[in-house]
Amino acid sequence: MLLLEDPEGAVARLRALVETSDDPEYASRLALALRVAGRHQEARQWRDRAAERYDELVLRHPDAYADHAADFWLMVGADVGRGLQLALQTLVMRQTTRSYALVRRAAFAASNQPAHVTT
């Protein structure tokens, strides 16, 4: 709710968190808050930082981070294909309600992507 009511306040709070943690969730949320605040260039920098960290963590600990990374790519990372890939990877590792819901959400997002036209 803070994000919509006071995006600059959300930016300030999240910036304090990213300065003390390497958790990509904070960088991801900061990127989203910056985008809502209209600070798109700065948002891209934090999105890229979160993407890099998620990639590192998924390589080292796929069972712990694939689902979180899938959420990131579906929302802030804006790469539905990567989100779907990670959601399916999560489902292979564990068949939980959350894993199935994540795959459904990713598949729905993928089915709503505009078709690429080649000439």
- What pLDDT digit, counting tens, does each position of 76-103 carry? 999 999 999 999 999 999 999 999 999 9
Around Cβ 115, how many Cβ atoms within 10 Å?
5
Supply the pTM of this predicted model.
Answer: 0.83
78: left (phi over 0), alpha (psi -120 to 50) or beta: left
pLDDT at 119: 43
pLDDT digits (tens, 9 = 90+) for 43-85: 999 999 999 999 999 999 999 999 999 999 999 999 999 999 9
Count, residues in the chain: 119
Nearest to residue 74, comparing CAs of 62, 88, 57?
88
HSE of 51 in the Cβ direction (CA atoms, 13 Å)? 17
